[in-house]
Amino acid sequence: MTRGSLLFALALFVVSIVLFVSTLAYPFKAKLFPLIALIAALLLLTVEIIQELLRYKKGVKRKEKGERLDPKHIVIWVWIAATAVILWVFGFMGTVILLPFLYLRFQRESWFLSISLSLGCGIFFYVLFSVFLKMPLYPGMILPRFLG
Amino acid sequence: MVEAIVKGVINVLNPGMLPWIFFGVAIGLVVGILPGLGGAATLAILLPIVYGLDPTFALTFLIVIHAAVSQGGVVTSILFGVPGESTTAATMLDGYPMAQQGHAGRALGASQMASMMGALFGGGVLAVLIPVARPVILAFGSPEIFMMAILGISFVAVLGRGSSVKAFIAGALGLMAGFVGFHSGTGALRYTGGMLYFWEGLKVVPVFMGLFAIPEVVDLVVKGGSIAKVKQANIGWADVWEGIKDPFRHWSLVLRCSALGTMMGLIPGLGGVVSQFICYGHAKQTSRRRQEFGLGCVEGVIAPESGNNAKEGGSLFSALSFGLPSGAAMVIILAALMVLGIKPGQEMITKHLDLFWTLVISLIVGNFISSTVCILATRALARITFIKGTILVPIIILLVILGAYGVANDIRDVFLAFAFGGIGYLMKIYDYSRVTFTIGFVLGDYAERYFLVSVASLGPEFLLSSPIALIMLILTILGLLGRWGKNLSSRFFQRLISKEEEE
Distance in angstroms (rounded) separating the CA atoms of residues B359 and B3: 15
Closest CA to B174 of A21, A30, A51, A37: A37
Q: Is A33–B179 a contact, with Cβ atoms under 8 angstroms apart?
A: yes
Q: Are residues B277 and B420 in the same domain?
A: yes
pLDDT greater than 60 at residue B106: yes
User: Residue B233 has what pLDDT?
Assistant: 56
pLDDT greater than 70 at residue B306: yes
Cβ-based contacts under 8 A for chains A and B: 142
pLDDT greater than 70 at residue B299: yes
Distance in angstroms (rounded) separating the CA atoms of residues B462 and B456: 9
Average per-residue pLDDT for chain A? 86
Asked if B48 and B344 touch (Cβ cutoff 8 Å), the reply is no
Average per-residue pLDDT for chain B? 82
Q: What are phi and psi of A110, to 5 degrees?
A: -65, 155
Asked if A16 is an interface residue toward chain B (Cβ–Cβ < 8 A), one would say: yes
Q: Give the H or E element holding residue B309.
A: helix B299-322
Mean pLDDT of B460-480: 84
User: Residue A84 has what pLDDT?
Assistant: 92
CA distances from B313 to A28, A97, B264 (A): 39, 41, 10
**DSSP-derived secondary structure for B327-339:** SHHHHHHHHHHHH
Ranking A98-102, B46-50, B332-336 by mean pLDDT, the lowest is B46-50
Q: What is the ipTM of this complex?
A: 0.90
Distance in angstroms (rounded) separating the CA atoms of residues B128 and B106: 33
Q: Is A80–B451 a contact, with Cβ atoms under 8 angstroms apart?
A: no
The pLDDT tens digits for A116-142 are 999 999 998 888 778 877 778 888 888
User: Residue B443 has what pLDDT?
Assistant: 84
**A-chain residues within 8 Å CB-CB of B168?**
40, 44
Residue from the list B34, B186, B421 with its beta carbon closest to the beta carbon of A27 = B186
Residue from the list A48, A95, A104 with its beta carbon closest to the beta carbon of B165 = A48
Q: Are residues B387 and B495 in the same domain?
A: no
Distance in angstroms (rounded) separating the CA atoms of residues B404 and B203: 9
Distance in angstroms (rounded) separating the CA atoms of residues B147 and B473: 7
pLDDT greater than 60 at residue B312: yes
User: Residue B174 has what pLDDT?
Assistant: 92
Q: Are residues B499 and B396 in the same domain?
A: no
* B42, B199, B430, best to mutate vs chain A, most A CBs in 10 Å: B430
User: Residue A1 has what pLDDT?
Assistant: 45
Range list of H helices, B155-234: 156-159, 164-178, 204-208, 214-223
Q: Are residues B227 and B124 in the same domain?
A: yes
Number of domains in chain B: 2
3-state secondary structure of B181: strand
Q: Is A113–B185 a contact, with Cβ atoms under 8 angstroms apart?
A: no
User: Residue B235 has what pLDDT?
Assistant: 62
Q: Are residues B232 and B207 in the same domain?
A: yes
Distance in angstroms (rounded) separating the CA atoms of residues A100 and A97: 6
Q: Are residues B378 and B491 in the same domain?
A: no
User: Residue A147 has what pLDDT?
Assistant: 65
Residue from the list A29, A121, A128 with its beta carbon closest to the beta carbon of B452 = A29
pLDDT greater than 80 at residue B412: yes
Q: Are residues B476 and B424 in the same domain?
A: no
pLDDT greater than 80 at residue B37: no
**Residue bearing the bigger pLDDT, B60 or B160:** B60
**B-chain residues within 8 Å CB-CB of A136?**
409
pLDDT greater than 70 at residue B140: yes
**Which residues fall within 8 angstroms of residue B270, CB to CB, at 6 or more apart?**
B145, B148, B264, B326, B446
Q: Are residues B399 and B501 in the same domain?
A: no
Closest CA to B61 of B362, B422, B310: B362
Ranking B15-24, B356-365, B476-485 by mean pLDDT, the lowest is B476-485
Domain that holds residue B501: 466-503
Asked if B76 and B84 touch (Cβ cutoff 8 Å), the reply is yes
Q: Please indicate, yes or no, whether the overall pTM of this predicted structure exceeds 0.90.
A: no
User: Residue B190 has what pLDDT?
Assistant: 93
The pLDDT tens digits for A28-84 are 999 999 999 999 999 999 999 998 888 877 766 555 555 566 788 888 999 999 999
Looking at CA atoms only, how far is residue B157 from chain A in angstroms? 14
Q: Are residues B167 and B181 in the same domain?
A: yes
User: Residue B269 has what pLDDT?
Assistant: 61
Give the bridge partners for B226, in sequence order.
B388
Residue from the list B188, B221, B411 with its beta carbon closest to the beta carbon of A26 = B188
A 68-107: CB under 8 A from B: 70, 72-73, 75-77, 79-81, 83-84, 87-88, 92, 95-96, 99-100, 103-104, 107
- B193 DSSP 8-state letter: T
Q: Are residues B252 and B337 in the same domain?
A: yes
**B-chain residues within 8 Å CB-CB of A125?**
398, 402
The pLDDT tens digits for B173-187 are 999 999 999 998 888
Q: Are residues B211 and B264 in the same domain?
A: yes
Closest CA to B155 of B293, B361, B250: B293
pLDDT greater than 90 at residue A97: yes
Asked if A103 and B394 touch (Cβ cutoff 8 Å), the reply is yes
